Amino acid sequence: MDDKNSSKSYPAGSNKEKVGVLERFSYANLDFAGQLIATVVNSYLMYFFTDVAVLSAAATGTILLVARVVDAIGAPIWGTLIDITRSKYGKARPYFLWLAIPYAASGVLLFWAPDLSMNGKIWYCAIVYMIYGVLYLGINAPITTILPLITSHPKERVVLNSWRMVGSQAGVFIVNSLTLPLVAVFGGGNDIKGFRIFIVIFAILNCLLTLYSFGHVHERVVTQDNRRVTLSKSIRAMNKNWPWFILVAGNFLFWVAQQGRAQSMVYYFTYYFHSKALVTFFNSISIIQVIGIIAIPFLNKFMSKVD
């Protein structure tokens, strides 16, 4: 893997910061690879816990709630770790190398459903899900963090982010189109076996694609300001920062609606319409969002006030 570009710093706006098609694809591939596991978790984990691993709804809800609390604590910690990281691979990029295998492994363990007592299952699912959540934050946060380190060109960043979003939607589409049909094929009526085979295949793909992108995405922009904003300063900066609170509230409400829809759809079509095929169909039509995502760079040319 060539890391020559990782140690170089170019003036803002230099042609050296132009991003080629291969690197754009590799950046998009990071989110595509991540969705191969994350979408299975977001769309089917609750169903897996209650209907496949046979946990109670109360236990499942408690596990998901506690995991969200752990995520809230872990997110700023990961941000701080990335901020202080100094390695031969850069600041954000090394996490794709370091966490690719652990993240993929946690996804496999999450859908393994070992033969344990009910209390054993609850503790197993709770611990593995919290570990998965921590690793997900650790490998997902650098995808956003690395964007301004790839290039300082605002328009290049818009294009890169559009590629990333297309990659993400492509991953979501593939997972939602294939999960239930392949689980049925692999399991032959045994959903535990079906989910195990399915998640192993997709975890291997996730790991290989993440490592591929690690080798083809580079950090070019090296900031000269070495001052670091500590976690305590970040918390104090929230005081009376109403734009920040509005953004957080908006994102919170969006994700509540998004996760509620994703997790409940499999129940709705399975038990109300008695058709899992409809789950696959309605989850898959979200690919239409790609049209809007592709249009963003073109709209930016006409609407942006930044040269």
Query: For residue 136, which of 110, 160, 113, 158 has the smallest C-alpha distance?
Result: 110
Amino acid residing at 202:
F
Average pLDDT by consecutive 10-residue portion of the chain (307 residues)? Answer: 48 59 96 97 96 96 93 89 92 97 98 96 97 96 94 90 92 94 96 98 98 95 64 72 84 80 87 88 76 67 61
Question: pTM of the entire structure?
Answer: 0.85
CA distance 290 to 138: 26
Q: What is the pLDDT of residue 295?
A: 67
Q: What is the pLDDT of residue 115?
A: 95
Within a domain: 274: yes
Structure token pair of residue 295: 């249009």
Within a domain: 135: yes
Within a domain: 255: yes
- DSSP code for 5: G
Query: For residue 180, which of 78, 279, 290, 110 has the smallest C-alpha distance?
Result: 279
Q: What is the pLDDT of residue 116?
A: 96
For residue 165, give every residue at least 6 positions away whose Cβ sits within 8 Å of its Cβ, in sequence order, or none: 31, 293, 296
CB 171 within 8 A of CB 39: yes
Structure token pair of residue 234: 């970040």
Within a domain: 53: yes
Within a domain: 157: yes
Q: What is the pLDDT of residue 302?
A: 67
Q: What are the counts of helices (DSSP H) followed by strands (DSSP E) for the chain?
A: 11, 0
Within a domain: 5: no
Within a domain: 232: no
- Cβ count near 228 (within 10 Å): 9
Domain count, the chain: 1
Q: Name the phi and psi angles at 85, rounded to 5.
A: -70, 130
Q: What is the pLDDT of residue 15?
A: 45
Give the structural domain span for 40. 18-221+240-303
140: domain CATH number is 1.20.1250.20
CA distance 157 to 218: 14
Dihedral in degrees, nearest 10, Cα atoms 28, 108, 174, 69: -70
Q: What is the pLDDT of residue 24?
A: 96
- Cα angle for residues 109, 110, 112 (degrees, 5° grid): 60
- DSSP code for 272: I
Within a domain: 161: yes
CA distances from 144 to 34, 141, 161 (A): 13, 6, 9
CB 33 within 8 A of CB 101: no
CB 18 within 8 A of CB 151: yes
